[in-house]
Structure formats: C-alpha cells, structure tokens
Amino acid sequence: MDRTRIPPQILPVPSFNHSKPAPFRDAASRLIVTSRIHNIPRSARCVYEMKTLDPDKSWELLLKTAVNDNNDINKCPQELEYIGTEIVAKCNGLPLAITVMGGLLQEKRQTKSGWEEVLKGINSHLGTGENNNVQAILELSYHDLPSHLKSCFLCLAFFREDATMHANTLIKVWIAEGLVPQEDGQVTMEDVAGGYLDDRVDQQKHGSGNRHLRSLFFRGDKYHFCNDAPDLNSFRLLGVLEMEGLGLTEFPPRIGALPGLKYLNLKNNEISKLPKSLGCLKNLQVLDMGENGEVYVPNVIWKMDSLRHINIDWPASEVPLKLNTLRNLQTLTNIGMHILILEHITQITSLRKLGVHLTAGSDVSMLCTSLAMLENLVCLKLYCRGHYDNTPFMDGLFHLKGLTSLKLQGPTSKFTSVNNFPPNLSYLTLKETRLEEDLIRVLEKLPNLVCLKLDMDAYIGHELVISHEGFPSLKALYLRSINTLINIKVENGGMPKLKRLEIRKCINLVKISKEFCNLQELKIVTAAWKASHFRFHNSRIMSKIPFVQIVVNEKDWPNAE
C-alpha cells in the first residue's frame, strides 16, 4: 500500500485478517479501519470507540422525527411512550437507526396499532447476532415502503454513493423504466413521479437489486474511460443508458439496435453528429445531448413518437425537422428557428418547456401566434441574435396565458407595458438584453412575479430604483455582472415580500439605500466581488433587518435554486 489508501467496507472478521500482510512502502504507514463489528477492533492495537446517544438523547431524536408537534417536540401521547422506548432501545443509540424509525412511526399517524406494528416488524427482522440490528432496521424501512415505491427506490442504485441527484433526472429514469403509470385526465406521468418524491423515498434504506440488467450507467471521466466503445449487443433489453462526461467523440455504435431503450444521456461529451439509426429507437423517451456543442441531427426524430424530452444545445440540420408526430413531447430545448416548422409545433399540444434560437431572418410574429396555441406551455426561453425592434413580438407573449417562466437572452425590443409579458408570469430571467432604466418601472408592475434574475448586462442603468409598492409579490432578486450598476434604491413599500437578495460580480455597486432596513421579510443577502467593500458601506443598514443572513464568501452561498 502506497501513501493514502482507503479500503472498502470490511464486514466479516476474516476479511480484516487477510489485510494484515499487506505490504507498506512507507515506514510511517498506518491502517485505519471503521466498522460496526466489535470483533474487528479487538485485533487492532489502538481502538477509538465512537460514543452512541444516551437514552434521553435517543428519545429526543425519535420524537423530533416521529411526533409532528411544532409546539412541543417532547410531547408524546402517553399510550405510545412505552412502545417508543422499546423501539429506541432496539436502535442501540445509533442516530441513523433512530431517524429511520422516526420516519416509519410518523407515517403511522401516532396510532397505537401503527406503532405496535413497527415494533413487531423490528423484532421479526432482528437476527440472532449482535451486529444485525442496524441492517435489520434499514431492511424494515425498505419493506415498509408502498409497493409502487420499492422499485423506484432501487433506481437510486444507478447513482454513485453521496452523489447529488437532480429530481428531473430521477423522474425521467423512473418513467423510462416503466415504473410510473399513466393516469387519466391532464395529470402527466411527470406529475405522478413528482408526487412520489414527496413520499418516503428520500429516506435512506437498503434493498436487494434486480437480477435482470435493465439499466447501464457508465461513470468516471474522459481520462479514465476506456477508448474502446462497449459492445452493447449483449444488452438487448437495456432501457436506461447513461454515458455522461466520458469524452466520447462519436455516437456509440449499435445503440440503434437497442429496441427497448427509453432513456439515453450523452451529456458533456464531444459528439458532433447523430446517426440515422437513431430513428430506430421507437421507445426512446429521453434524449439528452446537452453540453456537446453543435450537433448535426438527421431528419429522423419524427419516427421516435415516444419522445418526451429532447435536450440538444445547438442542433443543426440541412432541412427543417419534422416534429408533428411527437404527440408526447414535453421538453424541446434550444432549437433554431431555421429548422423549426411552426405548423408542427402547434400540433405538439403536450409541450411544456420550449427553447428557441432566433436569428436575423426569424419570423417572430408567426412564432408568437403558434405558441399561443400551446395551452400547456409553462416555460419559454428565447435566445436572440442581432436586434429585434418588433412590438408584436412582446405583444404575442401576452397571449400565453399558461406561461409562468420566461427567459430572454440577447438584444430585444424595449418593454413598454406589462402587456408585453404573459399575464401569469412568475419567474423572469433577462440576460445580455442591455435594457435601460425604464425597464424597472415596467417590471415592478408585474403582479405575480416572484423571482427576477438580471444577468450579464441585462440592465445598463447606473441606478436601480424600486418604487413605492413596486414588485408586490417578488421574493427573490438576483443581480449578476450588472457592471454599470452603482446604487440600489428602494422606496418605502417597495418589494414588501423580498426574502432573498443575491449580488454577484457587480463590480461598481457600492451603495444601497437606507430603506433596505424596512424589508422585514428579507432573510438572505449574498454578495461577492468587492464584497468586503460592499459590506463596509452597508453593514449598518443590513444590521437593522431582523434575522437576516449576510454571506460574502461564494463558497458559503446557499443554493440559489
């Protein structure tokens, strides 16, 4: 063993004994072993035994997770105390086991029969050995899952331990694996899967895997991935294939020969062309080619009528793409107007998220007319090149009644009134729009706007003035790289519901008005890039806001999403 090495988890005692003869090149080498098995430390020279929770702390932790009473976390119905103390005793003071048991008990709604059922389950799952308690408790929590969630939970094995999983990715995998039913009415499978996430899937549980290979995830980086493409002929039943960030320069061969493939993720590679065999994937639901740059797309997408989500940063094609057969499509990102057939878009009535690149020859007025027919469209991103001084463009957006999220990037026409925006707009992002001071007087009148992001010279004014009763519903304001901005002024009654203010790389911003101390709902202020200078001038104002958290170090920023 050379330098720092961490051995895998050691379970049986013989495995530990086998590690003793391991050669050490450095005379100062040390072997550190962590284990819940008591027999292993007895063979070691120095043992540090981690302390478990005492009975009082264990009981307190159980009540925090099991008894939903905000007024008194120590309050527990008398008929449940005896059962609860027995359950705590089975956990041996281990916080993980206690937390898992608390989650199970909370589901039983503080009923005696429900708590007794959990206790009986523990007793039936406990083994005869002293080391089986934790594993038995975790198994019980898995078996207690509703049947429709057990398979969903096992999909977590696709991801690396301690990896951050995006909810949308997990939902798409569940749907691709056929674990989410299609319900009647307007409820989509994505909505149903989102409801699953609100259940108990987020608890840590262990279970056994499926014997049949249905999903294949390649992990690592471009420097460690084998240059030879894997032979996929052996995986005819493959439903999920993820090869993100592996440095692939060509579309993996033989993928077109996987008739059961439903989920394909090739993000963050260097693939520049998709083959015509892509059209053979009749069952594909998710095609993710993000972060590959410009990708040539053959006109075969129309054959893949099961597609629900398409993500390609810069799709290129010699002819406009036929898309009118994609009746299940919900997400279409970053498609260019020059390869988009507007008549086809109006036939994709299930479309919820759309991103369009506009060029000098784009018919913006016709685009708005077509988008107005999409009743399910809730998120729209428009990337503009050149300059558009086209009033119908903004007026057309007003007719998108269901749209709640809008992003505009690049030069655009001036905003003259709230009628330039969708009436139910809640989230607005402007980037590189270079709009002037009269912009704010329009935006602050949007009645339902809860989040505003101004990014990369979206605004070129020197002063940002929030009028009295301006932004009545705004809860989050993000300012990034607004290099002309010097001063932020808030009049009395402005932004009454603001909870979060983030300022990043606004290099000339030095002052905020004293009225900021009237923002009683403000909880988080983050600042960077000359942050200390900003804090020095404004700390007295911020200190008057109760419960506000001021963060000036980027690595300490709370999640902005």
Output the pLDDT for position 275.
94
Q: What is the mean pLDDT of residues 436-460?
A: 94
What proportion of the chain, given as a percentage, has pLDDT over 90?
32
Count the neighbouring beta carbons within 10 Å of the beta carbon of residue 271.
Answer: 18
At 549 the three-state DSSP class reads strand
Render pLDDT for 392-431 as a digit per residue (tens, 0 to 9): 455 678 888 899 999 999 887 778 888 889 999 999 999 9
d(CA 221, CA 247): 7
442 and 466 in contact (C-beta within 8 Å)? Answer: no
Tokens in use for 377? 């469209």
Range of lowest pLDDT (6-10, 20-24, 195-199): 6-10
At 28 the three-state DSSP class reads coil
Is the pTM above the cut of 0.75?
no
Tokens in use for 84? 């609860």
Q: How far is CA 93 from the centre of its chain?
A: 33
Output the pLDDT for position 152.
81
Range of lowest pLDDT (127-141, 278-292, 451-465): 127-141
d(CA 451, CA 378): 15
Output the pLDDT for position 522.
86
d(CA 350, CA 374): 8
38 and 130 in contact (C-beta within 8 Å)? Answer: yes
Range of lowest pLDDT (228-232, 291-295, 492-496): 228-232
d(CA 521, CA 409): 30
> For residue 174, is pLDDT > 50?
yes
d(CA 368, CA 69): 51
Angle CA 126–129–130, to nearest 5? 90
Output the pLDDT for position 230.
55
Q: What distances in angstroms separate CA 72 from CA 63, 76, 79, 288, one per listed residue?
A: 10, 9, 17, 48
250 and 274 in contact (C-beta within 8 Å)? Answer: no
Render pLDDT for 68-107 as a digit per residue (tens, 0 to 9): 554 455 567 788 888 888 888 888 888 888 888 888 887 7
- Cα dihedral 464, 470, 475, 477, rounded to 10, equals -10
174 and 196 in contact (C-beta within 8 Å)? Answer: yes
Parallel, antiparallel, or unpaired for β 524-527 and 487-490? unpaired
Q: Over the chain, what is the mean pLDDT?
A: 79
Which helix (H) or strand (E) covers residue 120, if one does?
helix 112-125
Find residue 430's DSSP bridge partners. Answer: 408, 454
531 and 508 in contact (C-beta within 8 Å)? Answer: no
- The runs of H, that is alpha helices, within 243-390 are 342-345, 364-371
- The runs of H, that is alpha helices, within 331-376 are 342-345, 364-371
Output the pLDDT for position 539.
62
Render pLDDT for 497-515 as a digit per residue (tens, 0 to 9): 999 999 888 888 888 888 8
Amino acid at 508: N
282 and 259 in contact (C-beta within 8 Å)? Answer: yes
Residue of 462, 545, 469, 533 whose CA lies nearest to 501: 545
Residue of 514, 446, 509, 511 whose CA lies nearest to 475: 446
Parallel, antiparallel, or unpaired for β 353-358 and 511-512? unpaired
Render pLDDT for 18-48 as a digit per residue (tens, 0 to 9): 555 555 555 556 666 666 666 655 556 677 7
